[in-house]
C-alpha cells in the first residue's frame, strides 16, 4: 500500500498566532443578536463624491492594466502634499511615498525590507496583532516591551531591549489596542534612540485623525534628520471608511526604495487602480470628511468610560485618548478567550481577547466603539457591564 504524502505548512507559520477576528466572528454568528464591540472599523463608507470617480473608470483603458509599483503619480502627488501640510514630512529627495494595498501590507513590506531571518523587532505590548504576525512570518523574533499601565511608552525599557540583532522599534499612535496617544516628546525620544542605535523606527499612524480633548497628533517622520531611519505608515481604511478598498501608504527612506520595489513588485505589483482613483478624490475632501464623525465617537468614548469606570465593575480602565478602543484589565482568573466566548454566548456582547495583543498574563479585552452609534454603544456597554459583573464579579 502507498503511504499518503504528508503535506504540512511551513515551520515558520507554526509559530504565527491564529487570526482572532474570524474566531470571534464565528462565536457571534452562533449567537444571533450579539452587539459587537469587536472589530476596529468605522461606521461610515467612503465620501460619496469620491465614488463618482467610478463612473469614468470602465472607459479608461490604461486603468485596466498594471500601474506603477509605487502608485499612480496623481495619488502620490496628493499624498506628498498632504504629508507636507499635515504631518510636516518633507518627502523627496530624502524619502519616498509608496502606495500599498492597505497599511498592513506596508508594514509587511517594511519588515521584509529591513530584517533578515533571526533578527529582532521591538514592540510595545499590548501590540496590534497583525504587526506581530508579520514579524513572525518574516522569520524574526518579536520582542515585546510592556507599556505603562495607561498605555504610554516606557522609553528605558525600549532602550534596554535593544540588542545587536534589533532592526526596528515599532510604535503606533494613536494606539490600537490601548487608545493611548503618545506625546511628541516620547516619540522624539524613541526616534533619537533608534538613530543612536542604528535601528529603524517604524511608526503606524492609521488613526492620525482620531484624537480627543484637543490632543495633538505628532509624526516622528517630521523630525529633522529622521528621514534616513524612519518609516511612517498610513491608511485610508479608518479616515475615509475605505477598509475594503485596500489603500494605505508608506513613507520610506529613499535608500530603501530598491528593496521595497523588489518586494511590492512581487507581492502586489500595484495597489488596485480603481481604489487609487477613488482615493485621489477622497483626499480632495481631506480630513474634514473624517472630522465630522469624531464628535459622535467622542460621545461614545465618554459614555463607555463612565460605565466601565464605575467601582462596581470588576475592571481597570484608562480614558481612551485616541483611535476608538478601550483595553481593559478584568478582575478574574478566567483567561481572555474563555471570558470573550462567555460574554458572547451568555450576554450577547462581543469583545476581542487581549491575549491576541500579546497580553498573556492577566485577563484583558479590547473594546471597540468605532462602528457603533450612540444607541448601540449604550446597549453594548450595558451588556458588557452586566456580563463582567456576572462572570467576573
Ligand atoms: C494600527 C493599525 N494599523 C494598520 C491597520 C490596518 O490598516 P489597513 O486596512 O490599511 O491595512 C489597522 C487595522 O485595524 C490598525 O489598527
Q: What is the pLDDT of residues 169-225, one digit of tens each?
A: 999 999 999 999 999 999 999 999 999 999 999 999 999 999 999 999 999 999 999
The residues lining ligand 1, judged by C-beta closer than 6 Å to any ligand atom, are 40, 102-104, 128, 172, 176, 204, 206, 235, 237, 243, 248
Could you tell me where the beta strands, DSSP code E, fall in the chain?
A: 35-36, 95-100, 120-125, 141-146, 166-172, 200-204, 230-235, 248-253, 315-316, 325-330, 349-350, 352-353, 363-368
CA of 41 to the centre of ligand 1 (A): 9
Q: What is the pLDDT of residues 83-134, one digit of tens each?
A: 999 999 999 999 999 999 999 999 999 999 999 999 999 999 999 999 999 9
Q: What is the pLDDT of residues 258-288, one digit of tens each?
A: 999 999 999 999 999 999 999 999 999 999 9
Are the CB atoms for 350 and 38 separated by under 8 Å? Answer: yes
CA distance 129 to 112: 17
Which residue out of 41, 100, 104 has the highest number of ligand 1 atoms within 8 Å of its CB and is therefore the one to mutate? 104
CA of 369 to the centre of ligand 1 (A): 15
Q: Is the pTM of this model over 0.85?
A: yes
Which residue out of 46, 106, 128, 173 has the highest number of ligand 1 atoms within 8 Å of its CB and is therefore the one to mutate? 128
Are the CB atoms for 97 and 249 separated by under 8 Å? Answer: yes
Taking CA 344 as the corner, what is the angle to CA 339 and CA 346, rounded to the nearest 5 degrees?
A: 85
Which residue out of 40, 237, 250 has the highest number of ligand 1 atoms within 8 Å of its CB and is therefore the one to mutate? 237
Q: What is the pLDDT of residues 279-332, one digit of tens each?
A: 999 999 999 999 999 999 999 999 999 999 999 999 999 999 999 999 999 999
Give the nearest ligand 1 atom to 175 CA.
1
CA of 235 to the centre of ligand 1 (A): 7
Query: DSSP code of 209?
Result: T
Specify the residue for cell string 517630521.
222
Amino acid at each position: 500500500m502507498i503511504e499518503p504524502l504528508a503535506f504540512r505548512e511551513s515551520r515558520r507559520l507554526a509559530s504565527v498566532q491564529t487570526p482572532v477576528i474570524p474566531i470571534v466572528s464565528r462565536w457571534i454568528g452562533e449567537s444571533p443578536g450579539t452587539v459587537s464591540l469587536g472589530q476596529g472599523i468605522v461606521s461610515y463608507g467612503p465620501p460619496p463624491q469620491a465614488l463618482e470617480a467610478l463612473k469614468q473608470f470602465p472607459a479608461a483603458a490604461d486603468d485596466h492594466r498594471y500601474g506603477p509599483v509605487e502608485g499612480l503619480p496623481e495619488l502620490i502627488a496628493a499624498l506628498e502634499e498632504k504629508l507636507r501640510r499635515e504631518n510636516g514630512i518633507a518627502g523627496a529627495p530624502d524619502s519616498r511615498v509608496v502606495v500599498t494595498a492597505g497599511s498592513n501590507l506596508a508594514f509587511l513590506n517594511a519588515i521584509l525590507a529591513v530584517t533578515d531571518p533571526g533578527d529582532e523587532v521591538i514592540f510595545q505590548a499590548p501590540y496590534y496583532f497583525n504587526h506581530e504576525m508579520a514579524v513572525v512570518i518574516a522569520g524574526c523574533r518579536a520582542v515585546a516591551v510592556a507599556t505603562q499601565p495607561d498605555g504610554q511608552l516606557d522609553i528605558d525599557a525600549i532602550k534596554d531591549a535593544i540588542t545587536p540583532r534589533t532592526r526596528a522599534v515599532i510604535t503606533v499612535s494613536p494606539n490600537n489596542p490601548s487608545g493611548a496617544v503618545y506625546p511628541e516628546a516620547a516619540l522624539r525620544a524613541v526616534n533619537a534612540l533608534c538613530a543612536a542605535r542604528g535601528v529603524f523606527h517604524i511608526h503606524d499612524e492609521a488613526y492620525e485623525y482620531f484624537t480627543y480633548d484637543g490632543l495633538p497628533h505628532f509624526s516622528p517622520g517630521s523630525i529633522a534628520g529622521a528621514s534616513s531611519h524612519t518609516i511612517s505608515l498610513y491608511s485610508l481604511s479608518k479616515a475615509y471608511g475605505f477598509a475594503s478598498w485596500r489603500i494605505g501608504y508608506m513613507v520610506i527612506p529613499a535608500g530603501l526604495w530598491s528593496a521595497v520595489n523588489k518586494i511590492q513588485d512581487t507581492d502586489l505589483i500595484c495597489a488596485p487602480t480603481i481604489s487609487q482613483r477613488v482615493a485621489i478624490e477622497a483626499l480632495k475632501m481631506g480630513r474634514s470628511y473624517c472630522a465630522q464623525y469624531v464628535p459622535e465617537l467622542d460621545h461614545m468614548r465618554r459614555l463607555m468610560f463612565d460605565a466601565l469606570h464605575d467601582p462596581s465593575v470588576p475592571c481597570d480602565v484608562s480614558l481612551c485618548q485616541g483611535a476608538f478602543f478601550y483595553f481593559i484589565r478584568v478582575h478574574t482568573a478566567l483567561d481572555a478567550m474563555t471570558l470573550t466566548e462567555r460574554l458572547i454566548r451568555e450576554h450577547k456582547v462581543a469583545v476581542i481577547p487581549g491575549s491576541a495583543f500579546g497580553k498573556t498574563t492577566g485577563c484583558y479585552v479590547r473594546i471597540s466603539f468605532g462602528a457603533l452609534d450612540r444607541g448601540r454603544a449604550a446597549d453594548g456597554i450595558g451588556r458588557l457591564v452586566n456580563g463582567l459583573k456576572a462572570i467576573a464579579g
